[in-house]
Amino acid sequence: MNLFDAKIITTQFGVEIYVDEIKHIQVTDVHLSSPDQPYHECLVGVEYTLLRDKEFYGNRMNYFWIRMTEDFSSLTLVEPETQSLFAVKNDEERQATKMLIEDWLIKTDAFKDSINQLMNDYKNQKDSVVLTQFLEHLLHLHSNDIQTAPVQKLEELA
């Protein structure tokens, strides 16, 4: 591991350090579209280390949803009600977090390894074809997909 495998975001509450290792990312709660829900989504958890006043303040796991329309043509990043990766951040910090997500999803191996592991876990399940298509689209996202994706709070979408 070298220092170049880490991303750092400076916020009003301290410095968040993100490390590109599979143990620091979780891809869970995959939901496929249904008559009541016309989109596919998965919950992504990212662990980071928080430093405040140059002292270790602990590790945190925060989350965001990746939501795609049924035809995979539109992407939205959704803040969960609790433990949002975007929570208590100003506009500049939220933009830096979005750039982190772009780097994390497009340019690092941890997210891709997590998606591939998930594909292996679900390959024999009932909806595995649609699930595999969704996960494959996540593996092939482009920077522009993330840059143009709105970030919305879960309650705004209800």
The model's pLDDT over 101-126, given as tens digits with 9 standing for 90+, comes to 888 788 888 888 989 998 888 877 76
Q: Is residue 48 within 8 Å of residue 28, measured between CB atoms? A: no
Rounded to the nearest 10 degrees, how much is the dihedral formed by the CA atoms of 78, 24, 95, 16? 130
Of 106, 70, 110, 102, whose CA–CA distance to 85 is shortest?
Answer: 102
Distance CA 52, CA 64 (A): 23
Contacts of 126 (CB under 8 A, 6+ apart): none
pLDDT in tens, 60-102: 999 999 999 999 999 999 999 999 999 889 999 999 999 988 8
**Residue 88: predicted pLDDT:** 87
Say which residue, 33 or 123, is predicted with more confidence.
33
